[in-house]
């Protein structure tokens, strides 16, 4: 059975990128404007970066396994642990922060939006590459020229 690859729509690609920029940018702007100490800001910045990296790594690992590309069990498990750790660390940080409940909620929602958007952007990038690769493979005709050029 041959799988039909479909190209993601421009609207879905645009919405994914917009969600990533909106989530990450609002998180970073609020972090910049917060009255937190510099070490606290650094903590939340690192948690965002760690979360984005682990979400993209997990998405790639899951997709690789579905596509039959070997992914070691330890790396796959590490991706899950990393994503869970980033969410847990943000939760612990916000729980202990001296922020209002609305600020805590804002950070949590911007963080989760950024993670989801990073996964969808990675999916779109991979789908576009697969779509272009499959179109090039099906449109390429075998070289049947066997004569000499005159």
> Are 112 and 49 a contacting pair, CB within 8 Å?
no
Distance CA 91, CA 112 (A): 11
Looking at residue 128, what is its pLDDT? 84
Q: Which pLDDT tens digit goes with each residue over 82-105?
A: 999 999 999 999 999 888 888 999
Looking at residue 138, what is its pLDDT? 58
Q: Which two three-digit tokens encode residue 46? A: 């690192």
Looking at residue 150, what is its pLDDT? 45
Residues (pLDDT < 50) of the chain are 141, 145-147, 149-150
């Amino acid at each position: 059975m041959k799988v039909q690859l479909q190209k993601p729509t421009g609207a879905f690609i645009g919405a994914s990128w917009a969600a990533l920029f909106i989530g990450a940018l609002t998180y970073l702007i609020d972090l910049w404007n917060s009255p937190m100490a510099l070490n606290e800001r650094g903590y939340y910045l690192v948690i965002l970066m760690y979360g984005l990296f682990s979400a993209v790594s997990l998405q790639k690992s899951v997709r690789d396994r579905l596509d039959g590309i070997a992914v070691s069990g330890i790396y796959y498990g590490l991706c899950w642990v990393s994503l869970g750790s980033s969410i847990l660390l943000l939760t612990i940080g916000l729980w202990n922060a001296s922020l209002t409940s609305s600020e805590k909620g804002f950070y949590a929602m911007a963080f989760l939006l950024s993670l989801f958007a990073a996964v969808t952007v990675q999916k779109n990038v991979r789908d576009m590459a697969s779509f272009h690769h499959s179109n090039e493979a099906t449109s390429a005709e075998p070289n049947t020229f066997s004569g000499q050029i005159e």
